[in-house]
Amino acid sequence: MEAQDYHLKVARPQSAALDPTVTVALYDDVQLSEEVLSQAANEVTRIFHKAGVTTLWIACKSSESDETPDPRCQGPPGLRHLVLRVVPRSWKSSDSIFGVAFLSERGTGAYGDIFYDSVEKLHRDWGAGLPRVLGHVMAHELGHLLLGSNAHSREGIMRPSWHGDELRAASMGALLFTPEQARSIREGLSRYP
């Protein structure tokens, strides 16, 4: 897959110009199909749209690639320019960890990893579509980057662990940010140029 924008099928809301926007540079170390990545990005876009946030996606290649890198992938990361990487597995042995957001001591960060083996196991165990599960996990980790430390909650997509109810909601595309989380994300982005 060459470095390019994902062709998202999610329609931009008419008020999108007023919505805060986050650009996500996505690296795929697993070499998933462009279709799976595009559908997962669509899922994240839909989840963030429900929270009043627009997401723009850039497909990026690792530095080992022979292709000329997209200059947008080289931009400085920050609250409005986040970086996600889909990696084969966690460095820990637990398959119940689906990703990690790298946060500083101040609770801020711009980088996150998604552990594909755990996502794929969840997809198999619950029969939910792989792009939908991957998209929900990606949205959760982006939520950590946008909400900062202590972003876990008792309900919604930011629950620290997902069980039956959450997994059923995710399989139906209904695991979302709470209204408070959505407001906090929008307010945080509005303070950041």
Across 98-113, average pLDDT: 91
pLDDT at 16: 44
Quick check: 140 and 111 in contact, CB under 8 A? no
The 3-state secondary structure of the chain, one letter per residue: CCCCECCCCCCCCCCCCCCCEEEEEEEECCCCCHHHHHHHHHHHHHHHHHCCCEEEEEEECCCCCCCCCCHHHHCCCECCEEEEEEECCCCCCCCCCCEEEECCCCCCCCEEEEEHHHHHHHHHHHCCCHHHHHHHHHHHHHHHHHHCCCCCCCCCCCCCCCCHHHHHHHHCCCCCCCHHHHHHHHHHHHCCC
Across 171-179, average pLDDT: 91
Across 77-101, average pLDDT: 85
Most confident by average pLDDT, 12-16, 64-68, 152-156, 178-182: 178-182
Percent of the chain residues topping a pLDDT of 70: 86
Burial 7-29 (b: 16+ CB within 10 A, else e): ebeeeeeeeeeebbebbbbbbbe
- pLDDT over 90 at 171, yes or no: no
Dihedral class, residue 144 (left if φ above 0, else alpha if ψ from -120 to 50, else beta): alpha
Across 151-167, average pLDDT: 88
pTM here? 0.87
Percent of the chain residues topping a pLDDT of 90: 56
For the domain made up of 21-190, give the CATH fold: Collagenase (Catalytic Domain) (3.40.390)
